[in-house]
Structure 1
């Protein structure tokens, strides 16, 4: 029995090792399913008020579009993602062609309790920073796809080209890791913008203390994951981060280094420029020294060499975080360039243009970095977190934000045209999927729960031996339970801060 367990563990490790990934175009097609599903959701909501009020049928449709749709894209429709896009887009066109029926808008709004009325009166003015629907949608959809992939990768129905590559290449899960960091960088811009609006700058020591408060829980989670993986003899891919390092350690060490980088901004003009400088410097060191050979081939003789992938790739992830932070600096504020004659529509147009320019710049830089004719012809490596990987992650996430922002602008103009906080909050609620909002609200807690559920499934089910029907049944059940918990926490107004 022990020998069988050992051989099965080896099979599991081999199942996720020595992979070369797939094409970026296919990754774009697969992730496009979530975008098309959002378009259908937006058409149903804006034209028919389908999700207002939110009933059990609303939840089921929301679940199918924003969770099970992406699940189908990475499993049953992995070879034909454009077909799935078409199957979702056809009903969107049909519903859009129907006469609008905004039932929810005609219903009398419930009277707010006196306390809420008083709060609305006292806080009716719009704040400098707003919680934007497209940003919630972006972060929620990223969390959904992340939670789906960490379990689906253990089943044969999940294509090996979507799993993390060994060293060189691109894959869906490699993109997910970097996107998680980029998304965290966007949110990290909020306290900086608040300080800037209040005209204050915290000293370095205070910033480090503040950052450690965010780092400590993540580092604890990293230790817990390390102990549990080793204690349960869980299958692990050592070349992913190293023997002891894991993704929580990478996330945990980012805040203090970002706090230090804020001092560098007195010399360097922007976070984006600093991200590019770090990425180029990291790539130059990889190419001109023995660091690349050390990371890829050195024997694991001490603590540093045992965890060389996680430690040496940290600079690349720091660059991705800073790139996300730069995006947050102009995505989060209500107005990018407030002028006397500007209005809400022109501000939104300016935002779309700025995001388009950002996306285009990252895409062009990626093209030159990876092209043999016009550039150095570098290969993407998530294991090294090299410069092409940084550019790929930044370009993809910028494009995702741009598309989601465009969809929101087209279908829900009431949000950015709001004149007071109460109207804006109502417009935000109408323009945001309850499922995606719930995933965004308690993202890290749900990610932890997803990891626990993934571990439970792997310890109780021989995932490599089950067929497509059983595998899909497990994945659909897992996704439904996780989503139901997320929506319940949101309905109970519970935010679990870690």
Structure 2
């Protein structure tokens, strides 16, 4: 890469200040309103069943291009795009009856022993379309942003901030980790449901390291490719050598270490709070904050990679917060409740999580009537306000997707047991979103490869708006095709 152009590229993504949380929320809301319209079309018109070319194109326009346009062409008017999506959804909901009649729910099965929770794990771990939708939407936003950020059409306010502030891409990184924490709760629930004692720490650590190796290898490959190809890089993002794959790769063993404390502190949210409070106290009471942000880089690996190494504590807290929510919303919950009561409990639990994390964030990040700490958000530090912001946002996203499913597809949660579950959940889940969720890791890798290929072959800084949109639409279509192809071939590579 030409040295002058490389310097321009690095300057293009450096020293950014971000945007307001309200602005970010309006842009991110497009993912939810797109799913709202998809759900209205499916539940009222059965538009995506059978899944023909028209259904595929509409699905792609709503759930992929909707997000792309929200971050590019409609970035200055996200509210207008949301109105365009919500209006027909509301009209369909009010004027068209649901096509599928609600089946009468079976009464909850009686449990006559203290082992009520130790039911078959397949019964306690249902398929949740709203969770699939949440994970896939997050993946699409991430994949779109990592290439779009290299084009002028992608507003600089959405790029990762330098030190202090909030942006869409800052939120995306944390959301990626949070969503991984949510689905990791499945293994915890299965272990509890089996009734067998937890394995010793050492075997669990060995297993977690095996899970980490592929991610660490990917981190090394990315490091080699960036250095070897003289690719433009933003050093203050994670450091000289560190990258996001290393953060993901080191999470499993550390999660296992902290999971051993679950017997003493059963709530993962409490573990997350403990880590973030301790980390924030150290940042405020020592020289660590200035060391990370402004100290000259020394020759040692710690100094060269201090952002990635110390911010890992924040991402660990985010992962544990996600796991805490996962343990509450993933189980079927019908052992002692009716399906309606179980779904109501999930909605209440998510609502309380939103209130809990949002309140903590408010008092941590603002003066809040004279009682707040007024600590600025920093993705570079992954400090306490950043962790709280990510947890609050993702809890709200889960609540929105769960509400949409509850309103438009009641048969998904009103039926107990596995019988007919695949048919019900398939009807309530976008084919594209299902594919993105199922092949998440592979799609993310291909997105990174395509991003590198585009940047090495095209001077993205000098591309005009129509050309940029064509490139981004084609890129999005390729990723969608890969995801659908992997899904059809029954290849599953989730994070």
User: TM-score, length-normalised on structure 2?
Assistant: 0.93
Maintained 8 Å contact 1:185/1:328: yes
Q: Which residue of 2 aligns with 1:170?
A: 166
Q: Which residue of 2 aligns with 1:329?
A: 327
Residue by residue over 1:360-417, the C-alpha shift from the partner in whole angstroms, topping out at 9 and shown as x without a partner, is: 0000000000112221110000000000000000000000000100100000011111
Maintained 8 Å contact 2:268/2:323: yes
Give the CA deviation at 1:467: 0.6
Maintained 8 Å contact 1:134/1:401: yes
Instruction: State the distance in 2 between where 1:420 and 1:130 align.
Output: 8
1:274 matched to 2:271? The reply is: yes
Change (3 A) 1:101 1:266: closer
Instruction: State the distance in 2 between where 1:35 and 1:497 align.
Output: 22
Instruction: State the distance in 1 between where 2:220 and 2:358 align.
Output: 37
Maintained 8 Å contact 2:59/2:430: yes
**TM alignment of 1:302-321, pairs within 5 A:** 302-321=300-319
Maintained 8 Å contact 2:437/2:494: no
Instruction: State the distance in 1 between where 2:304 and 2:416 align.
Output: 56
**TM alignment of 1:175-186, pairs within 5 A:** 175-186=171-182
For residue 126 of structure 2, give the secondary structure of its aligned residue in structure 1: coil
Give the CA deviation at 1:9: 0.3
Maintained 8 Å contact 1:126/1:419: no
Q: Which residue of 1 aligns with 2:110?
A: none
Instruction: State the distance in 1 between where 2:251 and 2:353 align.
Output: 23
**TM alignment of 1:410-421, pairs within 5 A:** 410-421=407-418
Stretch deviating more after TM superposition (225-234 or 482-491) = 482-491
Change (3 A) 1:126 1:220: closer
For residue 205 of structure 1, give the secondary structure of its aligned residue in structure 2: helix
In structure 2, the gaps of 5 or more residues are: 102-119
Residue by residue over 1:425-455, the C-alpha shift from the partner in whole angstroms, topping out at 9 and shown as x without a partner, is: 1110011111111000010110000000000
Q: Which residue of 1 aligns with 2:395?
A: 398
Instruction: State the distance in 2 between where 1:38 and 1:163 align.
Output: 25
Maintained 8 Å contact 1:316/1:390: yes
Equivalent residue pairs, number: 474
1:366 matched to 2:385? The reply is: no
Give the CA deviation at 1:202: 1.2
Change (3 A) 1:355 1:497: closer
In structure 1, the gaps of 5 or more residues are: 106-123
Give the CA deviation at 1:497: 6.1
1:31 matched to 2:28? The reply is: yes
1:67 matched to 2:64? The reply is: yes
Instruction: State the distance in 2 between where 1:146 and 1:182 align.
Output: 13
Q: Which residue of 2 aligns with 1:115?
A: none
**TM alignment of 1:238-317, pairs within 5 A:** 238-301=235-298, 302-317=300-315
1:137 matched to 2:133? The reply is: yes
Instruction: State the distance in 2 between where 1:147 and 1:235 align.
Output: 18
**TM alignment of 1:148-167, pairs within 5 A:** 148-167=144-163
Maintained 8 Å contact 2:121/2:193: no
For residue 419 of structure 2, give the secondary structure of its aligned residue in structure 1: helix
Instruction: State the distance in 1 between where 2:448 and 2:230 align.
Output: 16
1:346 matched to 2:341? The reply is: yes
Maintained 8 Å contact 2:126/2:418: no
Give the CA deviation at 1:332: 1.1
Q: Which residue of 1 aligns with 2:208?
A: 211
How large is the Cα RMSD of the aligned pairs?
1.6
For residue 281 of structure 1, give the secondary structure of its aligned residue in structure 2: helix
Maintained 8 Å contact 1:30/1:73: yes
Instruction: State the distance in 2 between where 1:260 and 1:358 align.
Output: 25
Give the CA deviation at 1:59: 0.5
Instruction: State the distance in 1 between where 2:122 and 2:232 align.
Output: 51
For residue 127 of structure 1, give the secondary structure of its aligned residue in structure 2: helix
